[in-house]
């Protein structure tokens, strides 16, 4: 009888060791996954860019139609500096009308710093490679793209994509 009792003690110890190792592996995998996701998405999670206004005009005299898009963007003080890398014009159902990456000939950003302690109302224009929009600043983004004809008054969405991959959109209509 004693030999059976010692075998059950050994089995119990082995089971406890296996459970402890399994728990340690699960905790390690959970922590490494959590830490990995924090490092990869921190900058995107903190970007809080807002489009405060936008307008779209089209030149119906050309084929294909050229759309000129102007958007005013605000980067709040608690958001990191960011830059716009892509501008898109979409119908409100999500269908892409046209898009323009930030190339030197077609993309302009005008920054207006509104955050203290720097001088209020300082404006400068940058044409070409996308520039960083500092936190606490407003920027006017211009881009043009060509696509199929859409009637004036058609509702569209202006979509801007930041360097962190964050998309912001604004609904307006073609004038």
Model pLDDT for residues 70-94, shown as the tens digit of each residue? 999 898 888 888 888 888 999 889 8
Q: How far apart are CA 144 and CA 65, in angstroms?
A: 10
Structure token pair of residue 1: 């009888």
> Could you tell me the residue range of the domain that residue 99 belongs to?
50-173
Question: What SS3 class is residue 21?
Answer: helix
> Which is nearest to 53 in space by CA: 167, 172, 149, 144?
172
> Can you tell me the mean pLDDT for 14-19?
95
Neighbours of 89 (CB within 10 A): 25
Task: Answer yes or no: do 35 and 62 share one domain.
Answer: no
CATH number of the CATH domain containing 74: 2.60.40
- The structure tokens 């307006």 sit at 172
Q: Name the residue with higher pLDDT: 132 or 113.
A: 132
Task: Answer yes or no: do 56 and 135 share one domain.
Answer: yes
Task: Answer yes or no: do 98 and 117 share one domain.
Answer: yes
Q: Name the residue with higher pLDDT: 105 or 159.
A: 159
Task: Answer yes or no: do 85 and 38 share one domain.
Answer: no
Task: Answer yes or no: do 31 and 90 share one domain.
Answer: no
Task: Answer yes or no: do 38 and 54 share one domain.
Answer: no
End-to-end Cα separation, the chain, in angstroms: 94
- The structure tokens 């892409």 sit at 96
Q: How far apart are CA 89 and CA 101, in angstroms?
A: 12
Number of domains the chain is built from: 2
> Which is nearest to 67 in space by CA: 131, 158, 139?
158
> Can you tell me the mean pLDDT for 83-108?
76
Structure token pair of residue 142: 């211009």
Task: Answer yes or no: do 123 and 87 share one domain.
Answer: yes
Q: How far apart are CA 68 and CA 146, in angstroms?
A: 9
Indicate the average pLDDT of the chain.
77
Task: Answer yes or no: do 32 and 54 share one domain.
Answer: no
Task: Answer yes or no: do 63 and 37 share one domain.
Answer: no
> Can you tell me the mean pLDDT for 12-18?
93
């Amino acid at each position: 009888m004693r030999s059976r009792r010692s075998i059950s003690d050994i089995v119990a110890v082995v089971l406890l060791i296996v459970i402890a190792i399994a728990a340690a592996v699960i905790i390690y995998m959970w922590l490494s996954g959590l830490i990995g996701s924090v490092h990869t998405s921190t900058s995107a999670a903190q970007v809080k860019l807002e489009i405060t206004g936008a307008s779209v005009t089209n030149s119906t005299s050309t084929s294909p139609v050229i759309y000129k898009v102007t958007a005013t963007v605000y980067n709040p003080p608690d958001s990191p500096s960011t830059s716009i890398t892509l501008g898109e014009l979409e119908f409100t159902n999500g269908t892409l009308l046209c898009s323009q990456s930030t190339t030197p000939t077609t993309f302009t950003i005008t920054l207006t710093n509104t955050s203290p302690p720097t001088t209020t109302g300082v404006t400068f224009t940058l044409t070409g490679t996308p520039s960083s929009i500092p936190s606490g600043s407003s920027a006017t983004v211009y881009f043009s793209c060509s696509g199929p004809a859409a009637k004036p008054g058609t509702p569209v969405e202006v979509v801007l994509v930041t360097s962190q991959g964050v998309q912001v959109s604004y609904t307006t209509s073609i004038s």
